[in-house]
Amino acid sequence: MLKKALEEIGKGHTSVWEISRKLGTSETATEGILMVLSEKGYLQSEPQHTPPAPCSGCPFAQQCTSSSKRFSLTEKGKKVIKK
């Protein structure tokens, strides 16, 4: 599951919501997976994402921003998915 999470981030799925959908896990479980990977040096978190202006009228905008933390692979993480 950890390697699959790294692979999804490598494919450009960088938010907790996107990764949880791809893994078929809850956002809570995905956050735990990403926390472990971050602590072990495979990921780094990116600055919080601000939704674009058109989202301000959306009733779900608050939910989107709550899961807007984004992640990227470190060099160590990139090595794992190349194997």
Q: How many CA within 13 A on the CB side of residue 18?
A: 15
How do the domains of the chain map onto residue ranges? 2-82
The pLDDT confidence band at residue 66, using thresholds 50, 70 and 90, is very low
Q: How far apart are CA 5 and CA 50, in angstroms?
A: 23
For residue 33, the model assigns a pLDDT of 94
pTM score: 0.74
More confident: 47 or 72? 72
Q: What is the pLDDT of residues 7-53, one digit of tens each?
A: 999 998 888 888 999 999 998 999 999 999 999 999 998 766 555 55
CATH number of 2-82: 1.10.10.10
d(CA 17, CA 53): 20
6 has a pLDDT exceeding 70: yes
Query: How many angstroms separate the Cα of 43 from the Cα of each of 27, 32, 58, 59, 63?
Result: 17, 13, 31, 31, 23
Count Cβ atoms within 10 A of the Cβ of residue 64 and give its class: 0-12 exposed, 13-18 middle, 19 or more buried: middle
